[in-house]
Structure 1
Amino acid sequence: MKYTVDIPLERDGLWLDSNLTYTQVPGWLGKTTRDLKLSVIRHFAKAGSKRFPVIFWFAGGGWMDTDHNIYLPNLVDFARRGFIVVGVEYRDSNKVSFPGQLEDAKSAIRYVRANADKFQANPKKFIAMGESAGGHLASMLGVTNGQKKFDVGNNLNVSSDIQAAIPWYGVVDPLTAKQGSTSNDFDFVYRNLLGAEPESAPQLDQQANPLTYINQQTVPFLILHGDQDVVVPFKDSERLYQKLIDNQIPADLYQIKNAGHMDLKFLQPAVFKIIEKFLARVL
């Protein structure tokens, strides 16, 4: 059979820039140099013709291991809905203690902002989103706008500020996360992150706690957390939400019924619609 069809142009095409170097950091025992990478899902739209909001994605892994590309097949849904999606590599706790991870995240944001024309990015609509340890990073980015002490590395002439934060079952206070978990299997990750046990290093714990930094520069938050999470206590997300509300910061908390840690429920269209609705309101 021969067919002639007229196909309407209903959506933009997408490009993938994979594993771009956004900064260089000390490598093996501080004696070498290593690249940090990010991958960008961007649009066919001609450069300069349109600007898109940017979702920076930070995968979890207990700060022990991470893969900045692993979630991108799922997050392409956001690109189809008019976002740029950036998967960001950050150093694990075998390579650097906190705040090295936050410094990396802010460096990635500055890199994309400095190259906004290349990526068709709207530098006034940057969103940090991540899960578990990456959710902790998203929260830290949301509460540290203007905190120049965390800006280290390249592109220091541009801002690392973001406009919204979306932590998925993100760690809040390392101490209460360790104490409140119903499993002891992951207690070691907090020692590795801080360089000391959180019980014996309250200053280090406070430094890595988003609750420490909430002020009037804090961005709107959408917090997603499963009520069956045995790794990161749901009550910690409730504490974060309540402190945001107490400080008149726009915030929503969604308790996902019967969802555990890294649950498939978080990747469902219903959750993505919640995220899109929130961003349409706060951006």
Structure 2
Amino acid sequence: MNSPAENIEARRNLVFEELPAQQLLLDLYRPVTDRQVPVVLYFHSGGWRSGNKDDCRVRWLTRYGFAVASVSYRLLPRYGFPSQIEDAKAAVRFLRGNAEEFGLHPEQFVASGLSSGAYLACMLGLTAGHPILDQRFEPDIEKMAHPGLPNKRENYSEQSTHVNAVINYSGLVDFIAIQTWASRRGTRAERSPEARLLGHAVHEDRERAMLASPMHHLHADAPPFMHIHGDRNEVTPLDQTRKFHAALLELGVTSKFTLVRGGGHNSRRMMDNPAIQDRVADFLHRHLGTEGGIRAVYEESHARTDDESPTNPIS
């Protein structure tokens, strides 16, 4: 039997930030219901230099009763750290400021992403209220390319950037440690993805590299994290994710780790596996307190054990 058709409303190309000569857009997918629903912000991959919001790998979460916001952000080489983090926070503020209009629960926000997008999700989860990284970019209104946009009614600066959970698909979390790891990313320090994001080799300014690394923002009040990582990932070290997970646990933060056998950096085994999707949705419902709320019902069962499929996760 096939699953029931999705009953989803989509709002495309919502302007969540207006910068000089550039609009930042997001797409919002939401289950049709009268209830306020949790929202999962998704940040695309691409090494901070490519990709776009059309590549939304978690739209399936709408089947479980979540809204999904696929968010654009500024890219390299024109824009480096911390522009991307500013953009991610602007998206949170915009959605929270318009929660009533969009039918979103203002206290049930989740950050998620793949690879470079997962890095942004991790930074969102760890830096709410940070004295440097939670500052808002304020453009000169007179120099804005498109002043008076219908979607740009206010700047939402009073809104919190706090999120209630993080889903980390293969995110890079420690710019310092990765410099010692040889991979197909390339070994020349000045040409690595993290060096391009920073605008300099990591060793040239370790303090700034630490400021840009999720591993160096860990604290006991962090939201619950779920990490999903393939054992054949040749881009982001598996050991980094394991250490990040262990460090969160040591602080008393809820952290779950799922290893995907045969999974590469962004493989379908990791992103499109029904067993992993069920596990992610269960994690979010449990930690957002939405177990009894809106949740789609499948006509076909996705229940299986780890031994029944080589693509299933083991944790």
Settle same-fold status: TM greater than 0.5.
Answer: yes
Question: Which residue of 282, 287, 294 maps to 1:282?
Answer: 287
CA distance in 2, matches of 1:82, 1:152: 31
Counterpart AA for 1:37: L
Question: Which stretch shifts more, 171-180 or 236-245?
Answer: 171-180
Counterpart AA for 1:168: Y
Partner of 1:4: none
Q: Write out per-residue CA displacement over residues 91-143 of structure 1, whole angstroms, 9 at most, x where no aligned residue.
A: 11222221111110000000000000121101111000001000111111111
Partner of 1:50: 35
Offset, 1:175: 3.1
CA distance in 2, matches of 1:12, 1:120: 18
CA distance in 1, matches of 2:216, 2:124: 12
1:16 matched to 2:10: yes
Q: Write out per-residue CA displacement over residues 69-112 of structure 1, whole angstroms, 9 at most, x where no aligned residue.
A: 112xx533211210000000011122222111111000000000
Question: Which residue of 50, 53, 61 maps to 1:65?
Answer: 50
With structure 1 as the length reference, what TM-score do the two structures score?
Answer: 0.88
Gaps of 5+ in 1: 1-9, 27-32
Write the mapping of 1:187-202 to structure 2, written as runs, cut at 5 A: 187-202=191-206
Partner of 1:170: 171
Question: Which residue of 228, 232, 249 maps to 1:245?
Answer: 249
Write the mapping of 1:228-243 to structure 2, written as runs, cut at 5 A: 228-243=232-247
CA distance in 2, matches of 1:262, 1:77: 16
* 8 A contact 1:65–1:92 mirrored in 2: yes
Counterpart AA for 2:90: S
Q: Write out per-residue CA displacement over residues 216-240 of structure 1, whole angstroms, 9 at most, x where no aligned residue.
A: 3211100111111111100000111
Partner of 1:87: 70
CA distance in 2, matches of 1:195, 1:18: 32
* 8 A contact 1:142–1:219 mirrored in 2: yes
* 8 A contact 1:151–1:160 mirrored in 2: no
CA distance in 2, matches of 1:211, 1:98: 16
CA pair 55-171 structure 1, distance change in 2 beyond 3 A = same
Counterpart AA for 1:38: L
The share of aligned pairs that are identical, in percent, is 28
Gaps of 5+ in 2: 138-154, 289-315
Offset, 1:178: 4.1
CA distance in 2, matches of 1:125, 1:90: 22
* 8 A contact 1:51–1:122 mirrored in 2: yes
Structure 1 ranges of 4+ moved more than 4 A: none
Partner of 1:29: none
Partner of 2:99: 116
Equivalenced residue count is: 263
With structure 2 as the length reference, what TM-score do the two structures score?
Answer: 0.79
Partner of 1:262: 266
Partner of 1:41: 29
CA pair 118-148 structure 1, distance change in 2 beyond 3 A = farther
Offset, 1:213: 1.3
1:106 matched to 2:83: no
Question: Which residue of 183, 207, 210 maps to 2:211?
Answer: 207
